[in-house]
Structure 1
Amino acid sequence: MIHFYLNGKPHQVRDLNPNTTVLEYLRLHERQTDTKEGCGSGDCGACTIMAQRLPSQAGTKSEPFFTFNSCITLLSLMDGHHLLTAAYLADNPENHPDRALLHPAQQAMVECHGSQCGFCTPGFVMSLANLYENNRLQTQDNANAANFSYDEIVASISGNLCRCTGYRPIIDAGLKMQQIGQQLDSANTPSKALTLATDAMASHAAQKTDTDKAESNTQLRPIEPALIDGSKQLFIPRTVSELNQLLAVYPTATIWAGGTDLGLTVTQRLMDHEVIIQLSALDELQQWSLSESADNQELTFGAGMTYKQMLPILEQHFPAFADLFARTASPQIRNMGTLGGNIANASPIGDLPPVLLALEARVHLRHCDVINEETDADNDSKKSFAVSDETISLAEFFLDYKKTKLRPGSYVVGVHIPLMQAHQHLFIHKISKRYEDDISACLLAARIDLSADNSSIANAKIGLGGMAAIPLLAQHCQDALIGQKVNIASFKMAADAMPLDVSPMTDVRASREYRMHVVQRLLVKCAKQLMTELPTQGAA
């Protein structure tokens, strides 16, 4: 079964359709209608709620709170978490007979008139409360922690849409809640969110010990599903060896990581996946490492790492790549979406693949295959399986629209990215109708390698997204740059070769003519950026 806390109360669930989302569970099973459904596709943020991963043992430091879109998030992903909804952020009325003591985010929304029709309001409250409570956690660890800024408030609500207020009063509420919170602190009024979380953590740690003991006594038994409903099953492997075994037995199972795109198959296409193998408990797939050799340095990300987990590492080693994350989806999606999921999903408009292509990333794949099936004297079937690994360039991974080198029983283990050298320069440009929380119409990532004296282009890698059925490298465009002088004319010539590499599609986001023209101009923009980075600018 799965174990989680909801607004301070423990829940254990086993007999439930594995395709059940958090939103569906809240509204239909728990009758908690304070969380709203807007788009049903993770775009509008009306269904946003807040969660915190519970520790595995007592005394462990509190994890930060995070927000997510409950409409596309499977309930099973909340195994081992504490969920908080908007209605429970306010203190209980019985503690304050005159009125309920609202959370600073709620009180500020009231005072700043941040709500009109009110449908999106619970989601905004959760996004603001998440910022506020994480700041409180930082203050507990560091008394000198700074208050959040205007920009942080805007970023915190970038995954929430409102058709009524024009956002100004909501941003005002974000600024106001700091003042309200300081007044509560001076009155020694505890944070209900932090109090609920603390109580849940203490209770969970005590129960976790018993659970671990029970598991140690049954570890040799067949792997049991965490959720089951008739023929539908969901497994949560705790080790990679369990994952390998499950994929050998269920090679066509749906592999579910963050599910930020797979969730749409449930809410939009109304699919019921028969067997789901969920990767959320595999810490081995959420690790990263930096290896060094005589030739190069290489950064390795586990496929289960979320955008949020990757960000601080990218800020250190690939700042231009990290800057893209501010425009990649929303905070709610970045908290759940994973690197491996973004690659395996093979969407032509995924934000990460074009950049990884330009960086010449390699992808580590694992294949799990049944190699023998025998029947013993008691007529019991016995299976054995083999596991094989391969590492290929990401350019080889994508075959056609939604088709990759993955086969039944395969999964992405990790991604290897060579670190940038001093002579290499990376430029990334995303074009979308909305600046934030939007799918790209087109994306260009260019890595330009210069000669020792910076006078010519030694190598180039141009990754394109949103231009074809798969993310790809613009080979003719790259070849046209190699050996050329570092000037605008060289990049214009290379841009003219772009039609030899790709014939863009026309859809609701942009026409093929627009895409081609924009990407060609973006390549020229890369030239101008490159020349500003050089000690002496090239000739125009």
Structure 2
Amino acid sequence: MISFYLNGKSCEITHLNPNTTVLEYLRLHERQTDTKEGCGSGDCGACTIMAQRLPESSSEAVKPSPFFTLNSCITLLSLMDGHHLMTAAYLADNPDNHPDRATLHPAQQAMVDCHGSQCGFCTPGFVMSLASTYENHRLQAEASGSTDELSYDEVVASIAGNLCRCTGYRPIVEAGLTMGQIGQQRDAAQEIAKDLTIDLATDAMKTSHTPAATATNALEPVLTQNARQLFMPQSLEDFHQVLAANPSATIWAGGTDLGLSVTQHLVDHDAIIQLSAIDELKSWTLTDPDDTHAKNNSLNKSLVLGAGMTYKTMLPVLEQYFPEFAALFERIASPQIRNMGTIGGNIANASPIGDLPPVLLALDAQVHLRHCDVANHTTDNQASYTDEVLPLSEFFLDYKKTKLRAGSYVVAVHIPLMQANQHLYIYKISKRYEDDISACLLAAKVDVAADNMTIENARLGLGGMAAIPLLAEKTQQALIGQPVAVDSFLTAAQMLPMDVSPMTDVRASREYRMHVVQRLLVKCGKQLVVDVEPVSA
């Protein structure tokens, strides 16, 4: 079974279509209609809910996990195993003996006071995004003793994944800036705020929330309905067993793009292997060049990111080792998507407009694949497998086609660390600054000579230009050996049509894409000239 809390109530489920999304469960099974369905594709934020991971047992004494938001329309319910799900209706403190005197959550009260709602359809989603930010800020303040209030930038960032069609955003942002004051006023009046965190030790149900797939046999599904099955392996060994036995199953990590197959294309996956419980895929490390899985890298150390790491968990790591890459994250999707989407899913999905692959191509990243031995698998033994580490540039074959095959998955991504003479530039073009898909993306890594006067090497990753993310090989070759000067990039830009014939779609025409990327390459040259100064003889 899967087990979780919904608005303070314990839920345990054994029989349910594995393709059921959180939104579908809320509205159709629980009649929890305060969560709205807007776009059904994770774009508008109307379906936003808030969640918090539960401790694994009632005796576990740990500080509360942070709250996070997600798009319930594209999130499988099984991903919420071991979590507390909260909707807008739960936030208000409405005692049974005073049903007419509900105390709204500061985020809700602020939306009322600042007139942040008009038609009201998007309001629950905005409330959840603001409430999550408020609660996390409160937890941090309690831990550090800080009295700082939320900044304008923090409030704006928190609602980046929510769209409003009526009021405009000024009163909503004002509500975000005001909710802290409301909370402080209640604290001063000694009004006890509702604690949204579930305390398993005092919960009347005293339900154990050990991870769902505790069946003795890893091959047993945790959810079934008719012929459809959901597997939730708890370790890599279990995963190999399940995958070898079900090689055609859909592998589901965050599912922020795969979820569209359910909501937009109405696909009912017969078998799903859900990876959220496998901690081995969520870690990162630095690897020496002589490591088995890094031997094809350069002499540099590599950052190894587990395929199950989400954008949110990757961000502090990239800020430390690749700050230019980290800066792109505020342009990638929304907080709700970044809380769930994974690097492995973004690569394996092989979308030509994915934001990560062009940057990883420019950084000369390698992808670590694992191929389970499907042909010789038996249920009596652990599944055998072979590992393959190859340049990411060899991974993408054609539109939505990769080196993955039945029984294969992405284990990790290896990224050589930047050296002092290397410079990284990333440019994303989209119709909206936030929460939008790329029309085109250019990532350029340029190596300069010791005297800062010559380009020693260049790698140019392109996204949104063709059926796959790719390297502009002829263009980057035209830069090698050339002076660090804008003219070098102007000349190289003329080679771009030899590398790619851009596509035309609803986001941009081929002519626009070509012109923009050529100009972005020149912009890269201008920035490089500013960033490096020739060394005097």
Shorter chain as denominator, the TM-score bin is: over 0.9
**Which of residues 467, 470, 483 is equivalent to 2:468?**
470
Q: How big is the alpha-carbon RMSD for the aligned residues of Structure 1 and Structure 2?
A: 2.0
In the other structure, the counterpart of 2:20 is 20
In the other structure, the counterpart of 2:293 is none
Going from structure 1 to structure 2, the CA distance change for 1:265 and 1:371 (only over 3 Å counts) comes to closer
Q: Distance in 1 between matches of 2:519 and 2:508?
A: 16
The residue matched to 1:426 in structure 2 has which SS?
Answer: strand
Q: Note if contact 1:55-1:205 (Cα within 8 Å) is conserved in structure 2.
A: no
**Which of residues 220, 223, 226 is equivalent to 1:224?**
220
Going from structure 1 to structure 2, the CA distance change for 1:301 and 1:145 (only over 3 Å counts) comes to farther
1:267-291, CA deviations, whole angstroms, 9 ceiling, x for partnerless residues?
1111100000000000000000012
Residues 404-419 of structure 1 mapped to structure 2, 5 A cutoff: 404-419=402-417
Q: Note if contact 1:55-1:201 (Cα within 8 Å) is conserved in structure 2.
A: no
The residue matched to 1:12 in structure 2 has which SS?
Answer: strand
Q: Distance in 1 between matches of 2:278 and 2:462?
A: 32
Q: Distance in 2 between matches of 1:213 and 1:197?
A: 20
In the other structure, the counterpart of 2:342 is 338
In the other structure, the counterpart of 2:37 is 37
In the other structure, the counterpart of 1:319 is 323
Is 1:515 equivalent to 2:522 in the alignment?
Answer: no
Q: Distance in 1 between matches of 2:53 and 2:231?
A: 19
Q: Distance in 1 between matches of 2:377 and 2:354?
A: 40
Is 1:480 equivalent to 2:482 in the alignment?
Answer: no
The residue matched to 2:134 in structure 1 has which SS?
Answer: helix
1:12-34, CA deviations, whole angstroms, 9 ceiling, x for partnerless residues?
00100000000000001001100
Going from structure 1 to structure 2, the CA distance change for 1:183 and 1:364 (only over 3 Å counts) comes to same
**Which of residues 424, 427, 436 is equivalent to 2:425?**
427
Q: Distance in 2 between matches of 1:367 and 1:287?
A: 20
Q: Distance in 2 between matches of 1:264 and 1:212?
A: 26
**Which of residues 156, 159, 164 is equivalent to 2:158?**
156
For 1:33, give the aligned amino acid. T
Q: Note if contact 2:46-2:124 (Cα within 8 Å) is conserved in structure 1.
A: yes
In the other structure, the counterpart of 1:182 is 184
Please, which runs of 5 or more residues in structure 2 have no aligned partner? 291-298
Going from structure 1 to structure 2, the CA distance change for 1:451 and 1:212 (only over 3 Å counts) comes to closer
Deviation (angstroms), 1:385:
4.0
For 2:173, give the aligned amino acid. I
Q: Note if contact 2:213-2:234 (Cα within 8 Å) is conserved in structure 1.
A: no
Deviation (angstroms), 1:532:
1.5
In the other structure, the counterpart of 2:136 is 134
Q: Distance in 2 between matches of 1:205 and 1:144?
A: 35
Deviation (angstroms), 1:371:
3.8
Q: Distance in 2 between matches of 1:393 and 1:204?
A: 53
Is 1:256 equivalent to 2:252 in the alignment?
Answer: yes
TM-score (norm 1): 0.94
Which stretch of structure 1 is more off in the superposition, 20-29 or 48-57? 48-57
**Which of residues 125, 132, 136 is equivalent to 1:123?**
125
The residue matched to 1:196 in structure 2 has which SS?
Answer: coil
Going from structure 1 to structure 2, the CA distance change for 1:222 and 1:143 (only over 3 Å counts) comes to closer
Going from structure 1 to structure 2, the CA distance change for 1:212 and 1:415 (only over 3 Å counts) comes to closer
Q: Distance in 2 between matches of 1:494 and 1:68?
A: 43
Residues 282-431 of structure 1 mapped to structure 2, 5 A cutoff: 282-293=278-289, 295-372=299-376, 385-431=383-429
For 1:272, give the aligned amino acid. D
Going from structure 1 to structure 2, the CA distance change for 1:385 and 1:293 (only over 3 Å counts) comes to closer
The residue matched to 2:376 in structure 1 has which SS?
Answer: strand
The residue matched to 1:492 in structure 2 has which SS?
Answer: helix
1:224-245, CA deviations, whole angstroms, 9 ceiling, x for partnerless residues?
1111001000000000001001
Q: Distance in 2 between matches of 1:19 and 1:138?
A: 36
TM-score (norm 2): 0.95
The residue matched to 2:427 in structure 1 has which SS?
Answer: strand
Q: Distance in 1 between matches of 2:128 and 2:535?
A: 48
Q: Note if contact 2:111-2:175 (Cα within 8 Å) is conserved in structure 1.
A: yes
1:196-219, CA deviations, whole angstroms, 9 ceiling, x for partnerless residues?
31325765996438x58994xx63
1:418-438, CA deviations, whole angstroms, 9 ceiling, x for partnerless residues?
010000000000000000000
1:372-415, CA deviations, whole angstroms, 9 ceiling, x for partnerless residues?
378xxxxxx86774211110000000000000000000000000
Q: Distance in 2 between matches of 1:460 and 1:203?
A: 59
Deviation (angstroms), 1:537:
10
Deviation (angstroms), 1:223:
2.5
The residue matched to 1:323 in structure 2 has which SS?
Answer: helix
Deviation (angstroms), 1:50:
0.2
Q: Note if contact 1:475-1:501 (Cα within 8 Å) is conserved in structure 2.
A: yes
Give % identity.
Answer: 69
Going from structure 1 to structure 2, the CA distance change for 1:417 and 1:102 (only over 3 Å counts) comes to same
Which stretch of structure 1 is more off in the superposition, 222-231 or 113-122? 222-231
> Which structure features the higher share of helix residues?
1
Deviation (angstroms), 1:533:
1.2
1:76-102, CA deviations, whole angstroms, 9 ceiling, x for partnerless residues?
000011101001100014365652100
For 1:360, give the aligned amino acid. D
The residue matched to 2:96 in structure 1 has which SS?
Answer: helix
Which stretch of structure 1 is more off in the superposition, 400-409 or 54-63? 54-63
Q: Distance in 2 between matches of 1:415 and 1:260?
A: 19
Q: Note if contact 2:10-2:205 (Cα within 8 Å) is conserved in structure 1.
A: no
The residue matched to 1:389 in structure 2 has which SS?
Answer: strand
Going from structure 1 to structure 2, the CA distance change for 1:481 and 1:49 (only over 3 Å counts) comes to same
Q: Distance in 2 between matches of 1:169 and 1:449?
A: 47
Going from structure 1 to structure 2, the CA distance change for 1:100 and 1:222 (only over 3 Å counts) comes to closer
The residue matched to 1:198 in structure 2 has which SS?
Answer: coil
In the other structure, the counterpart of 1:378 is none
Q: Note if contact 1:54-1:201 (Cα within 8 Å) is conserved in structure 2.
A: no
Q: Note if contact 1:8-1:200 (Cα within 8 Å) is conserved in structure 2.
A: no
Going from structure 1 to structure 2, the CA distance change for 1:536 and 1:146 (only over 3 Å counts) comes to farther
Q: Distance in 1 between matches of 2:201 and 2:83?
A: 9
Q: Note if contact 1:236-1:278 (Cα within 8 Å) is conserved in structure 2.
A: yes
Q: Distance in 2 between matches of 1:59 and 1:492?
A: 61
Q: Distance in 2 between matches of 1:324 and 1:205?
A: 44
For 2:37, give the aligned amino acid. E
Which stretch of structure 1 is more off in the superposition, 331-340 or 137-146? 137-146
Q: Distance in 1 between matches of 2:211 and 2:529?
A: 59
**Which of residues 489, 492, 516 is equivalent to 1:491?**
489
Please, which runs of 5 or more residues in structure 1 have no aligned partner? 375-380
Q: Distance in 1 between matches of 2:260 and 2:201?
A: 32
Q: Distance in 2 between matches of 1:145 and 1:271?
A: 49
Q: Note if contact 2:94-2:101 (Cα within 8 Å) is conserved in structure 1.
A: no
Q: Note if contact 1:153-1:174 (Cα within 8 Å) is conserved in structure 2.
A: yes
Q: Distance in 2 between matches of 1:432 and 1:48?
A: 23
